[in-house]
Amino acid sequence: MSFEVHASLRARNFEMSLSLNDGETVAILGPNGAGKSTLLGVISGLLRPDSGAARIGDKELFRLDGGTRLWSPPHLRGTALLAQEALLFPHLNALDNVAFGPRSAGASRTAARETAEHWLAEVDALPLAKRRPAQLSGGQAQRVAVARALAADPELLLLDEPMAALDIHAAPLLRRVLKRVLKDRKAIIVTHDVLDAYMLADRVIVVERGRIAEEGPTRQVLERPRSHFAAGLAGLNLVTGTITEDGITTPDGRVFAGQHDSGWSPSPGQAGVAAFPPSSVSVFLGDVHGSPRNSFAVTITDLEPHGDQIRVRAGGGSSAPSLSADITPAASADLGLVPGMDVRFVVKSALVSVYPA
């Protein structure tokens, strides 16, 4: 029972196509306005695309092309949606909220309550059964909402940034709960958080401007990012250019030397990327001694604390992408770094990964 969808919605400049295997959880990553929520709306039936089709196994959710106008309403799709806010029905207690799906499917009151209790227990929320939504904290409410979505027995679970509205103390518990319940379940989780992707997803899809920019197994996308968004999520500097013998050359002529993955022989002229962590970048004032390779004149744009380091962001002119360097606060103070200063970034080539785009 695999799931597949392709749809386009011109008004939102949206055009995507993706599929899920049975038991697979996919994380959708992307900047705001990239079309993540539109995708979930189209799948769940709350938003009608101009054209496209979707099916879960043999069941068609919609098929909108030339002649056919098949459109299954949301309640017949089996695609429960969990949003950023729990949206628990305020007039029902936690138990009746969770029992809502089974009741709607025709289960008896007692059977629905039993199902509800089971799922409340699954999300560690059974003691909250009698509480009204107004008496629940954000994290508690969201766990109950997870139980409610699961109790509806969805064939595909849609999660729209379920952790985004929670405070930092509530998120880890919900993440653990989700890890448990999403195992072997078809689910699409829209998230901003790379941790969600690592912990919950088998595969990551990066979307930008209504299109899929990149997709692949979570680890591969986050360790070998090809899109700037994924690189940003993974905390890596990303430079695109043309492959050379020992690195890549950017369109504006800079040379990044680095290490190739073993087992891949570079063919010069091919499009490639170089990725390296900010910790591999050092900052110098004035002229550089030693190897001139991987050394670039840049202008500091921002300084911000990052863990126990200072992250130095710098642009290398209008065309070059911005790069980051992590240095100690002491070094930053010694150098007297301020935004607007001209400095040199030097990247240790041993820490630069070069791979095809």
Partner 1 sequence: MKSATGYQGIPRWIYAIAAVGGLLVVLPLAAMLAKVNWPQFFPLITSESSLAALGLSLRTSAASTVLCIVLGVPLALVLARGEFPGQRLLRSFVLLPLVLPPVVGGIALLYTFGRQGLLGKSLEVAGIQIAFSTTAVVLAQTFVALPFLVVSLEGALRSAGNRYEAVAATLGARPTTVLRRVTLPLVLPGLASGAVLSFARSLGEFGATLTFAGSLEGVTRTLPLEIYLQRETDADAAVALSLVLVAVAVAVVGLSYGRQRSTTPSEVHA
- Answer for which of 101, 225, 272, 316 binds partner 1 (CB under 8 A) is 101
Written as six digits, the tokens of 176 are: 């653990």
In the complex, least distance from residue 71 CB atom to partner 1, rounded to whole angstroms:
13
Q: Spell out the residues 6+ positions from residue 256 whose beta carbon is closer than 8 angstroms to its own.
A: 239, 241, 247, 248, 249, 250, 274, 276, 294, 347, 349, 352, 354
- Part of the chain binding partner 1 (CB under 8 A), chosen from 43-51, 230-238, 295-303, 327-335: 43-51
- Answer for which of 45, 49, 210, 225 binds partner 1 (CB under 8 A) is 45
Query: What is the x/- site pattern for partner 1, positions 148-187, by CB under 8 A?
Result: xx--x-x---x------x----------------------
d(CA 230, CA 45): 28
CA torsion, ordered 153, 157, 158, 163, to nearest 10 deg: 100
Closest CB to partner 1 among residues 72, 353: 72
Closest CB to partner 1 among residues 104, 108: 104
Closest CB to partner 1 among residues 65, 153: 153
User: 341: buried, middle or exposed (CB in 10 Å: 19+, 13-18, 0-12)?
Assistant: middle
Q: C-alpha distances in angstroms, 3 versus 189, 200, 206, 209, 317?
A: 14, 18, 18, 23, 45
Q: Which residue has the tokens 């509806």?
A: 152
d(CA 344, CA 331): 14
115: contact with partner 1 by CB under 8 A: no
Number of Cβ within 10 Å of residue 281's Cβ equals 24
136: contact with partner 1 by CB under 8 A: yes
- Part of the chain binding partner 1 (CB under 8 A), chosen from 41-49, 179-187, 211-219, 345-353: 41-49
3: contact with partner 1 by CB under 8 A: no
Closest CB to partner 1 among residues 125, 312: 125
107: contact with partner 1 by CB under 8 A: no
- Answer for which of 133, 139, 162, 241 binds partner 1 (CB under 8 A) is 133
In the complex, least distance from residue 77 CB atom to partner 1, rounded to whole angstroms:
7
Residues 56-85 that bind partner 1 (CB under 8 A): 73-81, 83, 85
In the complex, least distance from residue 3 CB atom to partner 1, rounded to whole angstroms:
15
Answer for the pair 296, 344: CB distance below 8 angstroms, yes or no: yes
Query: What is the x/- site pattern for partner 1, positions 304-333, by CB under 8 A?
Result: ------------------------------
Closest CB to partner 1 among residues 138, 172: 138
d(CA 345, CA 135): 53
> In 185-222, which positions are buried (b, 16+ CB within 10 angstroms) versus exposed (e)?
bbbbbbbebbebbebbbbbbbbbbebebbbbbebeebb
d(CA 275, CA 117): 48
In the complex, least distance from residue 157 CB atom to partner 1, rounded to whole angstroms:
10
In the complex, least distance from residue 79 CB atom to partner 1, rounded to whole angstroms:
6
Quick one: which of 254, 252, 262, 214 has its CA closest to 234? 214
Query: Would you tell me which residues interact with partner 1 (CB under 8 A)?
Result: 44-46, 73-81, 83, 85-92, 100-101, 103-105, 133-136, 138, 141, 148-149, 152, 154, 158, 165
